[in-house]
Each structure stands twice: as structure tokens, then as C-alpha cells.
Amino acid sequence: MAHFLLRYGEIALKGQNQHFFLEALVRNIRRAVADLGPAQVHAAFGRIIATSDADPTTVTDRLRKVFGVVSFSPVHVVAPTQDEITRAAIDAVERSVDTQPHAVTFKVDTRRADKRFPLTSMDTSREVGAAILQRFPHLHARMKEPDVRVQIDIRDHAYVSTETIPGPGGLPVGTGGKALALVSGGIDSPVAAWLGARRGLTVIPVHFHSFPFTSERSKEKVLDLCRVLAEYTGPLRVWIVFFTEIQRAVQLTVPDALRIVVMRRMMLRLADQIAGQEHAQALLTGESLGQVASQTIESIAAINAVTQLPVLRPLVGTDKTEIVARAEAIGTYDISIRPYEDCCSLFLPAHPRTQPTLEEADAAERGLAMPALIAEAIARSERLTIVPRWAAQAVGSAAG
């Protein structure tokens, strides 16, 4: 039976709404460990306590991925008495020095949320510190960067730990509305979707697929990316949109230099319609500024003009190296760099217009049978439910 004490940050500032955020966080933590067997999760005294029979390493891996968790600690839970706390602290230090034999310094931090406990935080730290010194004569106390930090939280019970593991921060998924996330197989868009979800959005990934110009493998790649995202968000609804006819029509009727911007506009038009069906309030893309021709401010303006919905671009101010580092940290990078054909790079013109005007974009689209193309693409889309990698494989159904 392993216990964990979880800390949340921003939610504590939510005033009247705190309850709503906290309930969502508890629910999301329960869901993250649900398949591991019986678990209890509840909020208490400004923290969340989770208890599970499952392997603690596995539980730890799951908790690391719950948005809203700032940090957490595996804890010994004991009665809030000095004796019990001291005994638990010595056990915890014993385990710590076993795993880090070179540890020579330690520190005890006590927080006392339950003021009924007779000793003050300072007194508790001092008493526990003295007991540790006696039991481990080779250790000495050090306030700054100690090798072993014993944390004692005195609440309904006493929680004793020597380890603090960072969570992803952010807000619980499901507390921030719903957005369609345009996900290519590239490095950027999965990171953008992850960042949106970390701010509490329910994201619905949408991928534009141009079979046979792009292969089944490129679709699998996107679904694999979604499986990684689902480890953070829980099961995801995913749309694979039939983009082949649009791609073909664009190639036939749109001047070379404007193909990319028109292709992007078509993507946003489709996403706008799907958002209507899904009751999503925003679109989200992996665009940054200045990376490529289609990401100049002029191109973004021309692309943006086809939808009334807010288009969120979480990566707008980031450098590629930062995006790559984030992709590696969240686990999407290795999938994103698998070779595949991007539906747009396939038709990449030699000299794309970097500063298209709205009028140019509109004019370039005159040869497209707009409503029919859009209706067909949506009708022939696939809708899937994607679950985390650790759960079963995708359960799919064609859109009817």
C-alpha cells in the first residue's frame, strides 16, 4: 500500500471556483491510476492524498503526467504524534541513505496545518533532527541544498517524505473549455496540443490525411502521437479528415506560390466546421512565428481570416530548440522524427509567397468548388477514440 501527497499550485488561488478545479483534479488523478487496481484519492487540508496498492514506480509515472499537479511525494502516513513522526522520519532517512550512500547532509522541514498538534513546526524539526543525528552519526545538518531533505506535513495525519517529484503543473484537463488541435506528424503541433491541455483545455486532435499522397504510416504516426498525449489527458477523440480531394483540387487550380496558404486555409475551414459539430470553442495550431514561409505574420493573417473562432498558437514565441526540448520531455519527439510525407511538403512550391494578401488568397481559391469539397472531406472523415499507450489499442469507427 503506497501513499502519495500531491501539491497543486494555481488552483489554490482560484477563490470561489477552487472547488470546481479541485474536483476535476481529483477525478483526473483517479482516472490516471484507475487501471492499476483499487486506489483512493481525496483532497484534504490543501493537499491531495492518493493511496494505491499498485507498484509505486508505476503510480509515480502516472502522477507525473496529471496536469494541475505541481509536485508530489511518496509518504509514510502516521498518527500525528512526536514518537510516530520521529520513527517514520528515521525510516525514511534510512531508505534515502541506502539509495544514496554518499549523502552526508540533511535537513528537516515541518509544516503544521493542524495547529492542534502540540509542538510547533520548529520544535518538531529540532526533535526529529536530533533523533536523526543520534541514529546516523555520519550525517550533519545543513540548511542549504542538503543531500537528504525530510519533509513533515502535519495535517489530519502526519505525512513524512524524503523525496519530491515534479509534476507537470498547469490546470486540470476539462476545466478550460474545448479546442480542436490541428496535429500534423511534425514536432511542433503535438507540443502545442500538450501545452493547450496543460492549461485545462479538452483537446480534440484533428489530422488532415491525404491518402494515397501520404501513406497509412503517416496516419499511424499521428495516432501514436495522440497515444502519448492521451497519457496526459485521458482518452482522446481524434478526427482523421479526408484531405485527398482538396489536395488534388488545390494542386490543379491554385497558383504554385499560393498553394501552402490556400491549403492551410482549407484546413482551418474544415476545422471550423468540425468545431461546430464538437461544440469546441477554439482552434489550436503548432504555428510559431517566422519558422517557415507560411508562418509570417502576413500568412497567418490570410490563414486566420477564414474562421471566426479564436486560433490559439501556444508556440508563437518559442524557438525551435525550445520546442524540441519540450517534445523530448513529453515523449513525442521520437515519434515526430520518424520519416513520413507531410501532405504540404509533398507539394511544396519552390518559391512560396511569404507575404500573401487576403485578396490574393481569395483570388487563388476561385477555382475551388468550396462547399462541396468541404462537405465531402468531412463526410469521409474517420473518428476514433485514442487511449493512452498503456491501455488497449484504438477503438475506431468510421464517421457516418
Q: Which of residues 189-208 bind ligand ATP (CB under 6 A)?
A: 189, 207-208
Q: Which is nearer to Mg ion, 83 or 322 (CB)?
A: 322
**Residue 28 touches which member of Mg ion, ligand ATP, none, C-beta under 5-8 Å by kind:** none
Q: Quick one: three-class SS letters along the chain?
A: CEEEEEEECHHHHCHHHHHHHHHHHHHHHHHHHHHHCCEEEEEECCEEEEEECCCHHHHHHHHCCCCCEEEEEEEEEECCCHHHHHHHHHHHHHHHHHHCCCCCEEEEEEEECCCCCCCCHHHHHHHHHHHHHHHCCCCEECCCCCCEEEEEEECCCEEEECCCEECCCCECCCCCCEEEEECCCCCHHHHHHHHHHHECCEEEEEEEECCCCCCHHHHHHHHHHHHHHHHHHCCEEEEEEECHHHHHHHHHHCCHHHHHHHHHHHHHHHHHHHHHHHCCCEEECCCCCCCCHHHCHHHHHHHHCCCCCCEECCCCCCCHHHHHHHHHHHCCHHHHCCCCCCCCHHHCCCCCCCCCCHHHHHHHCCCCCHHHHHHHHHHCCEEEEECCCCCCCCEEEECC
Q: Which is nearer to Mg ion, 176 or 286 (CB)?
A: 286
**Residue 294 touches which member of ligand ATP, Mg ion, none, C-beta under 5-8 Å by kind:** ligand ATP
- Residue 201 Cβ vs ligand ATP, minimum distance, rounded to whole Å: 14
* Options 184, 244, 296, 381; binder of Mg ion; rule CB under 5 A: 184
* Options 167, 286, 331, 356; binder of ligand ATP; rule CB under 6 A: 286
**Residue 208 touches which member of Mg ion, ligand ATP, none, C-beta under 5-8 Å by kind:** ligand ATP
**Residue 161 touches which member of ligand ATP, Mg ion, none, C-beta under 5-8 Å by kind:** none
- Residue 191 Cβ vs ligand ATP, minimum distance, rounded to whole Å: 8
Q: Which is nearer to ligand ATP, 107 or 207 (CB)?
A: 207
| Residue 360 in contact with ligand ATP, rule: CB under 6 A | no
Q: Which is nearer to ligand ATP, 24 or 267 (CB)?
A: 267
Q: How many residues bind Mg ion (CB under 5 A)?
A: 2
| Residue 188 in contact with ligand ATP, rule: CB under 6 A | yes
- Options 28-36, 44-52, 95-103, 291-299: segment touching ligand ATP (CB under 6 A): 291-299
- What does the alpha-carbon distance between residue 267 and residue 254 come to, in Å, rounded to a whole number? 15
- Options 92-100, 181-189, 245-253, 346-354: segment touching Mg ion (CB under 5 A): 181-189
| Residue 186 in contact with Mg ion, rule: CB under 5 A | yes
- Residue 182 Cβ vs ligand ATP, minimum distance, rounded to whole Å: 3
Residues binding ligand ATP (CB under 6 A)? 182-184, 186-189, 207-208, 267, 285-287, 291-292, 294-295, 343-344
Residues binding Mg ion (CB under 5 A)? 184, 186
